[in-house]
Structure 1
Amino acid sequence: MSTVDELRTVAGLYRARLRLGASVAVGDPVARVLHMPRGADGYANYEKIRARGDLVRGRSGLCMTASYAVCNEVLRSDRFFAAPTSAVRLKLTPPSWQRSDVLVHPLDDSFASANPPEHTALRRIVAPFFSPQLMRARHAYIEKVVAEQLDRLDRDEPVDLIDEFAIQVPSKVICEILGLPESDHPLFVRWGIEFGATVDGARSASERRRTQVLLAELTDYFDAVVADRQRRPGEDLISKLATAVAEGAMTRIGLLATCQALLIGGFVTTANIIGNAVVALSENPEQREAFASDLDLTNQVVEEVLRLQAPAQYSVRVAREPTRLAGQDLRKGTPVVTLLAAANRDPEVFTDPERFDIDRANARDHLSFAAGPHYCIGAGLARLEGQIALRALLERFPRIRVAGPVRYCPSRVIRGPEHVLVHCR
């Protein structure tokens, strides 16, 4: 990109930020959600959307819904399609130091943003590696990893649950599935945290540069891994995906993006489940005691945590054609933000939705893993890891509690603790 184009892009970001701020100033509830500080609790703003009706149109023309029924309809309907997360990303070019000749985005370039029939074909390649049978086969390995990490927790002083446990467990598991070395774990953790902010879209030149660096590092890393697997294939998932490229079933860019998406999605979601669960149990000691006295409630705990704190707060779909939704006419190309976190607290579906209740009968009806064709392919793995980790954690430390302020991930989309000190006793 030339210097002139760069300046134009930065100016465009500045103008977009001013427009968003102006919309907030005149009380636009849609703009207020999009303008929230990264890491902020957005539920009060989501409720303002709900109070305006089932579908709220912002000054920009973008629509937003907090309704469970409308979110579910949009996610499942073929009248709406998935779209890239940020148009700004498309204007980025590889930095001078990057070895690869392209920048690849984990969501925009993978099957996560693809639509049928391409999405169906790509998902069919990956799905077998996350089948219920293979998940059951990994049960013992996950238990082993969990036990090893629990042995490292210091019971005499507060420890960072996220750094020492919640990220370690799923990171090691997804590394085993993909065939990546555990020694690269610090890189993966940093990429996972930075990725949460890039999903929000860049609002400044510095954020744009951080996105460029992140994507360059991810692309170079997996370009090297894929090249190695092509020379020395194994039984890991990346080797199998490389074979799909050789057979013409997947492009090189699609392969690199899918590897990135599986790595980041493979540990960030589970880390958030574990972190959010411990925070909720600490804030509700009667629920913690009920769980500690009956560890068979583990599945219920995981589902209720997913309902109460959706790891991905919202998802965007675009109208494929002129259509009608929630009594309103939408033009072709109208973006609709489905507030998954708000849908999970819809009082029309969940009684006393703000309450953390591990006995909630319909907790599993949440939309935290989306719905329809783009239902999270790793949902089974995330559930299994969360169940094994939380059961073992409460069995070992039945009175675990938060020991200080919780710092959340710097993202509007991703919701989970970045750091949380706990007493393990």
Structure 2
Amino acid sequence: MIREALRLYKGKARLVRSAAQGDPVSRVLNLPRGRAGYDRYEDIRAAGDLVRGPSGLYMTASHALCGKVLRSSDFGAVPTTVSKRTLRPVGGGAGRLVHPLDDSFASIDPPEHGRLRKIVAPAFTPQAMRAQEEFVTGVVSEELERLAGQSTVDLIGEFAVRVPSRVICEMLGMPVADHELFVRWGIEFGAIVDGARTPGEVRRTRKLLTEMASYFSDLCDRRAADPGEDLVSRMVRATEAGEMSREGLVATCEALLIGGFVTTANIIGNAVVGLFDEPVQHQRFLADPAGLAATLVEETLRLDAPAQYGVRIVRAPTTLAGRDLAAGSPIVTLLAGANRDPEVFTDPHRLDLTRPNPHDHLSFAAGIHYCIGASLARLEGRIALQALFTRYPDLRIAGRVRYCPSRVIRGPAHLPVRT
């Protein structure tokens, strides 16, 4: 543990030193958790289409380049963290910890990626989403009714998180009663998704991954003994048939739960903040929430990407933006920067409900790793925002907005409003 602590501290010291010297890549990586990084993404754009940091890490905020990297088979998925690979579960035990992203199909390349994705994909088809619409509408209505009569509420904790949490729990066949536990996991995972940098963060990572693995291992055992028609039961059957490993099963359960509510919660929270930052757009939306809800979701995704960046690795020597890249070279695709590329979006730093191309954003990535739950997030966001402003047209922000303590995840953690 001492050796690991020294490695972490040395790495952090080098990063801080490079950032202080003005290196734009180091400045992005050293961004304080919870702070918007858009000014630093613009520094990357100003430095060139593809910028190399002192450690050999490349970074791009170019929409065209991000799209190329995400869609090309020359670039593969890469684990989100390194230190996790050597960690043991809290309380002992053999083997390494299961990570929601590193050990699910989210970080696996073809051909295994496609085989594993097909197991889950039927739950997110257009037909499946149409079947979910009535249920989502009912959940939204019930959660809005809970807010009635309350003068000031935390819109995130009391609505934006509760709606998608209930929906994904229904799909996975999980108890909604554990909602508070799932929310805590989502917040904690967002804080460490880009890797542990201090011994304290390593300890918190171990504790979180141990808790989630234990919970989902027990859940999968129960589904094996008493299967149903839910998504977890489907994955358990695939595991029993040899189509998915036990580790992959647990990791995919974790990824679907966290991704299933964190993204939608951030869409709702970011949309509300975005509308109040732009009074003209706010009034435009209030005049036609049914007609503009889908556009508001897309424009919010563009303006404030729930996941600010992703990482890909060069699979074989290649050339990109005039640079010869060696195999193994990591590239950070600044999705939030690409979404504000002036080459693609006019006046990109403003929310605009009349924008002709908001759907050209890369917030759900692209290519084979395009977010499998994108259609569900869009459905939930559209229904929730339309109903929220229809039911409470006089909604107002009533205090300081606090953001998720993360460098990767962008969205309010606390949003006080008056209904």
Shift of 1:283: 1.5
Measured in 1, the distance between the counterparts of 2:66 and 2:96 equals 35
Shift of 1:285: 2.1
| Residue 90 (structure 2) aligns with | 95
Shift of 1:276: 0.2
Map 1:134-149 to 2 at 5 A: 134-149=128-143
Q: Which runs of 5+ in 2 are unaligned?
A: none
> TM-score, structure 1 length as denominator?
0.97
| Residue 180 (structure 1) aligns with | 174
Deviations 1:241-286 (A, max 9, x none): 0000000000000000000000000000000000000011112122
Shift of 1:159: 0.8
| Residue 319 (structure 1) aligns with | 314
Measured in 2, the distance between the counterparts of 1:360 and 1:146 equals 27
Map 1:372-387 to 2 at 5 A: 372-387=367-382
- The DSSP-based 3-state class of the residue aligned with 2:105 is coil
Among candidates 224, 243, 247, match of residue 249 of structure 1? 243
**Quick one: which amino acid aligns to residue 172 of structure 1?**
R
Measured in 2, the distance between the counterparts of 1:285 and 1:29 equals 33
Shift of 1:399: 2.6
**Quick one: which amino acid aligns to residue 375 of structure 1?**
Y
| Residue 147 (structure 2) aligns with | 153
> TM-score, structure 2 length as denominator?
0.98
Contact 1:282-1:400 within 8 A present in 2 as well: no
Give the aligned CA root-mean-square deviation in angstroms. Answer: 1.0
Contact 2:5-2:198 within 8 A present in 1 as well: yes
Map 1:254-269 to 2 at 5 A: 254-269=248-263
| Residue 363 (structure 1) aligns with | 358
| Residue 296 (structure 2) aligns with | 301
Measured in 1, the distance between the counterparts of 2:241 and 2:385 equals 41
| 2:337 counterpart of 1:333 | no
Identity of aligned residues (%): 61
Measured in 2, the distance between the counterparts of 1:231 and 1:352 equals 56
- The DSSP-based 3-state class of the residue aligned with 2:313 is strand
| Residue 199 (structure 1) aligns with | 193
| Residue 59 (structure 1) aligns with | 54
Aligned pair count reads: 418
Measured in 1, the distance between the counterparts of 2:203 and 2:394 equals 44
| 2:408 counterpart of 1:394 | no
| 2:8 counterpart of 1:13 | yes
Measured in 1, the distance between the counterparts of 2:33 and 2:310 equals 16
Shift of 1:200: 1.8
**Quick one: which amino acid aligns to residue 22 of structure 1?**
R
Measured in 1, the distance between the counterparts of 2:333 and 2:149 equals 42
Contact 2:121-2:372 within 8 A present in 1 as well: yes
| Residue 414 (structure 1) aligns with | 409
Which runs of structure 1 show a deviation greater than 2 angstroms over 4 or more consecutive aligned residues? none
**Quick one: which amino acid aligns to residue 58 of structure 2?**
C
- The DSSP-based 3-state class of the residue aligned with 2:324 is strand
Q: Which runs of 5+ in 1 are unaligned?
A: 1-5
| Residue 344 (structure 2) aligns with | 349
| Residue 218 (structure 1) aligns with | 212
Contact 2:62-2:337 within 8 A present in 1 as well: yes
Shift of 1:401: 2.1
